Structure 1
Amino acid sequence: MRRSESFHVPRKTSSRVWDDDPRLIPGLPDETSLQILARIPRIRYLSLKAVSRSWKAAVTSPEIYNIRKQLGTTEEWVYIVMNKGLDGRFLHALDPISKTWQRLPPVIPNRSCKIEHRTCAFAAVDGCLYMLGGVSGCSSLTSVWKYDPVSNSWSAANPMSVGRAYFETGVLNNKLFVVGGISFSRVGGDNLYSETPLQSAEVFDPEIGLWSDIPSMPCSKANPTAFLEGSHDLVRIGLASYRGKLYVPQRFSSVGGGEVYDPETNLWMDMPTGMAEGWPPCFGTNQSVIVDGDLYALYRGLSSEDAKVYLYNHHDASWKVVVGYVPLHDKSRYMLMGLLGKLHVVTEDDNDNIIVMRADKRDDSTASLDERDSESVTTSESYIWNVIASRNFGFGILEGCQSLDI
């Protein structure tokens, strides 16, 4: 549906018209009114809430979002978590079509504890966002917090069975899987704690709100104690939900291999050799992503100039470079994501702005059209990178990003 830029919110002229009339729009059945409201871009809903109490209830109800699905008017937005230290974590949303940002409610765990940077996981499933686990003080957390974009609010969800930090998440069959990580626990003094690498995994069903255990990773190709060598970032072993299975690479220095979980058999198996050996090292978060059924992985290399995007070919279990250059800045944080059917990278520029870059296949006949709506960054042999949005959030650290189509 083409968005209308001339839409204006009606003024509330009288309480008799807008509040006392039992219908959303006087003279129309509510079913018709909801069909109209469901066609309005979500970015306008903040203004629509001010029209009347009934309109506010309508645009914050699950019913209107169900209608949006039926009409095909759902919209895919980007959600970014910024960690501002003692001030806590803040969630921001980007509408990539209007290029408009919205600041959303702060992440609720800030009220109860301070979770250390990059120790928790940020995931999206069934139209909601989840903040899971992490480390607070000297202990890993089981806590799970859920953000519902319909009500624009956070709430506590059922906790994981095991406290986890530096772990991975993936979504299969509309269920959220968590894999591996480290369990921290206090052992005596104020700052003394033990670290236990985890091979366990569990799955969350958002429809019933419950966790279930699945078999632990066999770690047949890597000793789990390797997760603790050097930086804790090594514990982020990577994960991709690909072709109906979970793929967990374990590639640290000379240690290779990986495991594959099949939900149909509830068993782990070895990852194909070519896939495991060629999987680009994925230190950090969101370095692999599925776009239109294809698996991509971003590898930065020893410097930002070496950053490349690889594509996996499942027919011969091989990887090839498809984007020979990604314009990352030295020491900038970066995350790969799929959005509106294209590869995107969320990162920082030299001025500490958070930027969202889209990879467009190079086509001279359409390049000018792309550049009209975005700022061209640079080109590779077959792709051109365009900045579709940017925002300066002040101080803070880019910690997570996800997309939701609602």
Structure 2
Amino acid sequence: MGGFLSLAGPKSETKEYHEVSQYETCKRQRLSPSIDEESPRLIPSLPDELSVQIIARLPRICYFNVRLVSRKWKATVMSPELFKLRQELGTTEEWLYMLTKVEEDKLLWHALDPLSKRWQRLPMMPSVVYDEGSSKGSSALWMWSMLGPSIRIADFIRGWLGHKSSFDQMPLCGCAVGAVDGCLYVLGGFSRAAAMKCVWKFDPIQNAWIEVPAMSTGRAYCKTGILNDKLYVVGGVSQGRGGLTPLQSAEVFDPSTGIWSQVPNMPFSKAQVLPTAFLADMLKPIATGLTSYMGRLCVPQSLYSWPFFVDVGGEIYDPETNSWNEMPNGMGDGWPARQAGTKLSVVVDGELYAFDPSSSLDSGKIKVYDQKEDAWKVVIGKVPIYDFAGSESPYLLAGFHGKLHVITKDANHEIAIMRADLHDTDSIPSSSTSDIAGFSDSLADSDAVIWKIIATRDFGAAELVSCQVLAI
């Protein structure tokens, strides 16, 4: 279902992707002597059990070339059993998967191996569209554009007030992204005026997209989170008679069984106590984030009425009691908000971090939640962010290798993955700065962190959309 990265030479690290089509791969295999024909073993003179032990210890980035050796080698490196063995041996690797928008209607996934600094471009996502005139229900999904032009939150909030404009004619947008059990998931979204239920999964072992059971409710701009190896989906919006309608429902997907189950609706308790009926009708409650923290799901919430939004704390889902409770006041009221109230957060090494853009578009702060004091505290006073016009997400947060990472564009307009090495202020030498070219001035007042760029890539005019981390 698409090309994969060739690592034939060192130039692949700095030059454009060298992709090999399925036709070229098959041609190579026909021209090369097959080990399957010469020997029934993976490695001659070695039992296959020992050969698999050796392969399991290879860096995962090598598998893209290893599978070209023969059909048997390809079957081995694409088998779930090999990756289970990697887990047992402790050779599992964390890769960063990043979604970018390169044109008005084209989005691409890219994977980064942080250790080798090498990139892989994923196969294109399957394309679907909902046929409103069809009576086939869920089967009325036709090949089209899985992720069409991105529309800003402000644009679809106008729909709540009945200003539909050209929304009904827009291609699919507003899909949610999640990651569980070593796979990427793309869920729902809008196609024209219909909220989608469909769910697609990318299996990095097979290097392919497959359709999985659909959600019970069509939803767009929903929030996703992982808890107990299950994928939770909460909130979002659907198309109602008067425009877009916020959803209070939630559901959970178990990848081991392929079954969706219902979760109790979010009460939106603070939204129920508005002082007047006018405000209750005007302000629309919506989930603005979702983070798995301390074994529970934390969902910050807001009330919207274009062009305003008001934070109303949030709610926490406890899987043990299968119930929602109001979020602690300090946690909910102080949760930093970015564009249109969306809450951007990540958990790293058990700590909950959130990005606070403050009032500046070219910098921001990172805060950490102090559970004992029920308060958000600044841990990084200034994050070097370059504002690039028209971007939906000028920055993303990710946690891997036990470190907090910020993904943004650098001074050369290349997408940069920056690692934040946090230190006690007293332990930092006065000469400590950063190895990020062009960022030294921005870091002058950042005494508690040393920034390090672990990888960059020139994606041209591409914009950041979302990111996930997979451990495989």
Q: What amino acid does structure 1 have at the position aligned with 2:322? A: N
Report the counterpart of residue 3 of structure 1 in structure 2.
none
Contact 2:404–2:419 (CA under 8 A) maintained in structure 1 = yes
Aligned to 1:195: 244
Return the letter of the residue paired with 1:100. Answer: R
Could you say which residue in structure 1 is the equivalent of 2:385? 328
Higher mean C-alpha deviation, range 50-59 or range 376-385 = 376-385
Shift in CA distance, 254/46, structure 1 to aligned 2, threshold 3 Å: closer
Deviation at 1:40, TM superposition (A): 0.8
Q: 1:359 aligns with which of 420, 426, 432?
A: 420
Q: Shift of the alpha carbon at 1:272?
A: 0.8
**Which whole-Å CA distance do the structure 2 matches of 1:74 and 1:328 have between them?**
31
Aligned-partner Cα distance in 2 for 1:131–1:46:
24
Which of 124, 128, 136 in structure 1 is aligned with 2:191?
Answer: 136
The alignment status of 1:29 with 2:54, answered yes or no, reads no
- Alignment-mate amino acid for residue 421 of structure 2: D
Percent of aligned positions with the same letter in both sequences? Answer: 48
Query: How much does 1:220 deviate?
Result: 0.7
**Aligned partner letter, 2:255:** P
Residue 301 of structure 2 is aligned to residue 250 of structure 1: yes
- Corresponding residue for residue 405 of structure 2: 344
In structure 2, the CA distance between the partners of 1:347 and 1:92, relative to structure 1 (3 Å rule), is same
| CA displacement, residues 315-374 of structure 1 (integer Å, 9 cap, x when unaligned) | 121110001111111245211110110000112235442211110125657x98984xx7
Distance 1:327 1:179, change over 3 A: same
- CA-to-aligned-CA distance 1:113-141 (integer Å, 9 cap, x gap): 35442611111001100001111112111
Q: Which amino acid aligns with 1:143?
A: C
Q: Which runs of 5+ in 2 are unaligned?
A: 1-8, 11-27, 129-142, 151-172, 304-308
- Distance in 1, Cα, partners of 2:55 & 2:280: 51
In 1, are the aligned partners of 2:99 and 2:464 still within 8 Å (CA)? yes
- State the match for 1:289 in structure 2: 346
Aligned residues: 388
User: How far is the alpha carbon of 1:112 from its aligned partner?
Assistant: 2.9
Helix, strand or coil at the partner of 1:222: helix
Q: CA deviation at 1:227?
A: 11
Distance 2:97 2:282 in 1: 32
The amino acid that maps onto 1:82 is T
| Alpha-carbon shift at residue 235 of structure 1 (Å) | 4.8
CA-atom RMSD in angstroms? 3.1
Quote the offset at 1:251 in angstroms. 4.1
Quick one: distance in 2 between partners of 1:383 and 1:201?
38
Residue number among 107, 112, 119 corresponding to 1:94 in the alignment = 112
C-alpha separation in 2, matches of 1:315 and 1:70: 36
Partner SS state of residue 58, structure 1: helix
* Equivalent position of 1:314 in the other structure: 371
Q: What are the within-5 Å matches in structure 2 for residues 7-406 of structure 1?
A: 15=33, 17=35, 19-85=37-103, 88-109=106-127, 111-116=143-148, 117=150, 119-184=174-239, 194-222=243-271, 235=286, 237-251=288-302, 253-283=309-339, 287-331=344-388, 333-362=394-423, 371=435, 377-378=439-440, 379=443, 380-406=446-472
Q: 1:79 to 1:227 in 2, by over 3 A?
A: farther
The whole-number CA distance in structure 2 between the counterparts of 1:156 and 1:336 is 28
Residues 129-171 of structure 1 show CA distances to partners (whole Å, capped at 9, x for unaligned) of 0001111112111110000000000000111111111111111
Contact 1:236 1:283 in 2 (8 A): no
Evaluate the alpha carbon distance shift between residue 158 and residue 16 of structure 1 in structure 2; reply closer, same or farther with a 3 A threshold: closer
Report the CA distance between 1:277 and its aligned residue.
1.6
Contact 2:34/2:70 (<8 A) preserved: no
Inter-partner Cα distance in structure 2 for 1:235 and 1:352: 34
- Give, in whole Å, the separation in 2 of the partners of 1:140 and 1:227: 24
Structure 1: distance between partners of 2:32 and 2:146: 47
Conservation of the 8 A alpha-carbon contact between 2:434 and 2:451: no
In structure 2, distance between residues paired with 1:226 and 1:180:
21
Kept after mapping to 1: 8 A contact 2:354/2:366: yes
